[in-house]
Structure 1
Amino acid sequence: MPAPTGVLTDLDRVLLDADSIRNRVSELARQLETDYEGKVITVVVLMDGALFFVADLLRQINLPMRIVTLGASSYHGGTESTGEVKLNWPSGVEFTGLDVLLLDDILDTGLTLSALRDRLLFEQPASLKTGVLLDKKRPREHDVPLDYCGFEIGDEFVVGYGMDYQGRFRNLPCIGILKL
């Protein structure tokens, strides 16, 4: 599927093409089906960056699930974490005794996933696993156990497939390095 006209010219290079992403997401779906066989998964999704990844992933999993979306951010429009996590926690949702899968687009500093993981553990789920599409190889400010990972990438700012820069580039079918 071609990218919208002119948008690819904003990329320095394509890091992961659409076919590579699609194939890896399918592999992750099979792995999750095996790991959660016989269980109901409560999937907690960090929006907005994980939108495309999670939609593609969850449509391929043939298991009962409940989906909860959360808003969380530590970038606030820039290319680096501000060090402050803003959470939009849903009211009236409980995770006690549930098998919870926390999904996000990218593990970078570990700040956001660590904060959400700690908040979910406070709820005493039966199990809690964490998965991301991208694991950025860089020193972490917060250690986060990672159970599922699509790809490991270098310490570069990426856009596409849901990830943005100032609200743009989420619609790219690939993941690339933005010209800055």
Structure 2
Amino acid sequence: MDAATAGTDLEHVLLSREQVATRIAELAAELDRDYADKDVLLVGVLKGAVMVMADLSRAMSIPLSMDFMAVSSYGSGTKSSGVVRILKDLDTDISGRHVLVVEDIIDSGLTLSWLLANLSSRGPASVKVCALLRKPEAAKVEVDVSYIGYDIPNEFVVGYGLDFADKYRNLDCVATLAPHVYS
């Protein structure tokens, strides 16, 4: 789905398909260099990271493994409380592995902070984070993110895995929604 297909649902495109693809390729090159000769496991956080994970893994040239987790944070509406439960755990033992958590977006950092502590307790060689998007202004806790695609304003965005009411994930760009969609 492209921005034209979404019609009046989008207020403005923040990052085009080309901008996202270019940055994903750059991140993949960094990861290839940093994880050369390491046993790396990409861990995608469902559902949002699916697009980033797919494109990032295809752009990487080193051998790698992939797994997924699904977590849910409790809170009111669109706000995360940081109280997290695992909906789908890893199928892979991460002991001694270099784990790279792949995220679509880092907002408050509360859920990711919990996830990193959980994964670190499982005895990996390392745990790092790669996120396509980060909202520095929305951070409630400091999370060490090793690889960042773009820092963006504290706006609600959709596309490239990000959704509103489980729609717009397949939008090939990152955009803000027009107020009539969510009001």
TM superposition score normalised by structure 1: 0.91
| 164 and 76 in structure 1: CA distance in 2 versus 1, 3 angstrom threshold | farther
- The residue that corresponds to 1:168 in the other structure is 167
**Letter in structure 1 aligned against 2:129:** T
**Letter in structure 2 aligned against 1:128:** V
- The residue that corresponds to 1:178 in the other structure is 177
User: Residue 2 of structure 2 contacts residue 173 of structure 2 at CA under 8 Å; is this kept in 1?
Assistant: no
User: Residue 40 of structure 1 contacts residue 63 of structure 1 at CA under 8 Å; is this kept in 2?
Assistant: no
Report the secondary structure of 1:59's partner residue: helix
Distance 2:116 2:144 in 1: 9
User: Residue 77 of structure 1 contacts residue 165 of structure 1 at CA under 8 Å; is this kept in 2?
Assistant: no
Cα shift readout 1:136-164 (whole Å, capped 9, x = no counterpart): 12142222100000000011110001100
**Letter in structure 1 aligned against 2:153:** G
- The residue that corresponds to 1:103 in the other structure is 102
- The residue that corresponds to 2:35 in the other structure is 36
| 91 and 18 in structure 1: CA distance in 2 versus 1, 3 angstrom threshold | closer
Question: What displacement does 1:90 show?
Answer: 2.4
Question: What displacement does 1:66 show?
Answer: 1.3
TM superposition score normalised by structure 2: 0.90
1:14 paired with 2:10, answer no
More divergent stretch after superposition (135-144 vs 47-56): 135-144
Distance 1:12 1:79 in 2: 19
Distance 2:12 2:79 in 1: 20
User: Percent identity of the aligned residues?
Assistant: 39
Report the secondary structure of 2:52's partner residue: helix
The CA RMSD over aligned residues, in Å, is 2.0
| 163 and 68 in structure 1: CA distance in 2 versus 1, 3 angstrom threshold | same
Distance 2:12 2:91 in 1: 44
- The residue that corresponds to 1:51 in the other structure is 50
Distance 2:65 2:78 in 1: 32
Which runs of no fewer than 5 residues in structure 1 stay unpaired?
none
**Letter in structure 2 aligned against 1:30:** A
| 75 and 175 in structure 1: CA distance in 2 versus 1, 3 angstrom threshold | farther
Distance 1:3 1:55 in 2: 21
Distance 2:99 2:173 in 1: 28
User: Residue 158 of structure 1 contacts residue 178 of structure 1 at CA under 8 Å; is this kept in 2?
Assistant: yes
| 39 and 9 in structure 1: CA distance in 2 versus 1, 3 angstrom threshold | same
Distance 2:74 2:2 in 1: 28
Report the secondary structure of 2:160's partner residue: coil
